[in-house]
Structure 1
């Protein structure tokens, strides 16, 4: 009897508990757990030192721009805007600002449009010289812009475009296109072709399918490419110095160079001009930072 009960007990079913099971705790990745074990000060102290190292030059520039001439105070008090009035009115920085803005916006638009067309061709079509063309685009990034100043100057002189903002816009666009085409091509490759094929089945043309399906997904990439084209053209000095000799056609980098004399430098006016040159770029990046990070980290499509 005991043996039968023991045998029957071995085959008995274990009763299962009734009711919902308790929720399981999500597992934390090992990398996140490793960072959780790090003391906070080991993260914030290096970041604080880096932030201090980055912001000190900007504070020094603001200090010279806002304190009176001849003052040695480390705090801009009493505050004065005389340096800004001098560079904006007497040094024609209002004209320089308009020229730089026109060059930057025009370069942004032309670079983005041409790079969008070229990137789509590289991403969606196969042709015989595709690999050679990509190699040429990559190799062009190793050519310094200073080597092309004399040939470009001769070309623009024959076209009668010297002292024209169009010459600077064309030169900036040409030098921004290789990298921009490569980046846009990579973003378009991340968009599944099946999305366009589904639009074609619904009766859309290739251009309409691209505009309705692909283009909205490329917004982070387009913002990243356009912002770098704008900043590069805004800060570039050589092309504007070489192709624009008239004062009413010069841009902000060339205008800052005119504040540096052979015997002396007006530090207050130079710092005020630097603030005028830096503020638009800071504002642009402050508004597009989330799109910029998304464009370079996640690509055009998630999942």
Structure 2
């Protein structure tokens, strides 16, 4: 055998790609993370400046809140009466959440399990109500609440927010119920369970993601609602947080520190709710969107 053949290097074997592990694509990483990073910056910068205004001393223009002060939080909580506004918002939000969830479960179960005349038309009407702005219903609702003696009470806000939360909640809950096989209920009925007992023992535990999703949306919508709280309540001791925030803005000036501190207090419960239930929201929304 000749010398050149003896010294010729052997070609390296190309390693086979492991199944189940896709090759890393730098272009895909660039296309994915650059837009997400830009969106994250666009979203978080306003929150950062809100924290800066809330934590830095009055009159300071530093982009970093140092030294940190909580005087603005004391101003909105004690002087402006934010403690009362916060309590009112919690009462209205929790009651609206409970009533909306209970009625949505019953309505969604009826739409998913029963076939009756006008069912499709009823679903269309529920969907069409989502296109009606709340401002168009202010005068009729004000007249009804005045007749019932609910003006300047938290009951008017609970009723109004519940009514506007119900159509979408019922539609979503009907999708959640449809995702539960009816054969499971039939098996429970064969074992002696009635319709109500079978629903409570079999169906309701499987609706937990849907209940959390519907309740979260109802609470957040009620918490952020400004229009109803402004129109149906005129006493300061019945104001909610969105209306109370407007008291930090005067006719010719605005207390940006107090306004930012109030915004932090207003956003904190919503952030906590999303942090706790975010793992249920995606599953719940997808389940309610593809069924029914």
Deviation at 1:237, TM superposition (A): 0.4
Q: Which whole-Å deviations, capped at 9, do the CAs of 1:237-268 have from their partners, x for residues lacking one?
A: 01111111000000000001121111001000
Give the TM-score, by structure 2 length: 0.90
1:1-303 aligned at under 5 Å gives the runs: 28=20, 33=22, 38-298=27-287
SS in 1 for 2:131: coil
Deviation at 1:215, TM superposition (A): 0.8
Distance change in 2, residues 1:127/1:298 (3 Å): closer
Structure 2: stretches of 5+ with no match in the other structure = 1-16
Structure 1 distance, partners of 2:29, 2:140, is 56
Q: Count the aligned residue pairs.
A: 274
Distance change in 2, residues 1:37/1:64 (3 Å): closer
Structure 1: stretches of 5+ with no match in the other structure = 1-24
Structure 1 distance, partners of 2:268, 2:218, is 17
Q: Which residue of 2 aligns with 1:14?
A: none
Structure 2 distance, partners of 1:33, 1:122, is 44
Deviation at 1:124, TM superposition (A): 0.4
Deviation at 1:50, TM superposition (A): 1.3
Structure 1 distance, partners of 2:197, 2:25, is 49
Q: Which whole-Å deviations, capped at 9, do the CAs of 1:131-163 have from their partners, x for residues lacking one?
A: 111111011111100000011001000101111
Structure 1 distance, partners of 2:222, 2:112, is 27
Deviation at 1:44, TM superposition (A): 2.2
Deviation at 1:168, TM superposition (A): 0.4
SS in 2 for 1:141: helix
Q: Is the radius of gyration larger for structure 1 or structure 2?
A: 1
Distance change in 2, residues 1:188/1:26 (3 Å): farther
Q: Which whole-Å deviations, capped at 9, do the CAs of 1:208-259 have from their partners, x for residues lacking one?
A: 1111111111111111111000000000001111111000000000001121
Distance change in 2, residues 1:153/1:299 (3 Å): closer
Distance change in 2, residues 1:167/1:35 (3 Å): farther
SS in 2 for 1:69: coil
Superposed structure 1 runs of 4+ greater than 4 Å apart: 25-28, 32-39, 298-301
Q: Which residue of 2 aligns with 1:11?
A: none
Structure 2 distance, partners of 1:96, 1:164, is 13
Two-structure CA RMSD over aligned residues (Å)? 1.9
Note if contact 2:172-2:285 (Cα within 8 Å) is conserved in structure 1: no
Distance change in 2, residues 1:36/1:188 (3 Å): farther
Q: Which residue of 2 aligns with 1:12?
A: none
Q: Which range is displaced more, 176-185 or 36-45?
A: 36-45
Structure 1 distance, partners of 2:18, 2:176, is 33
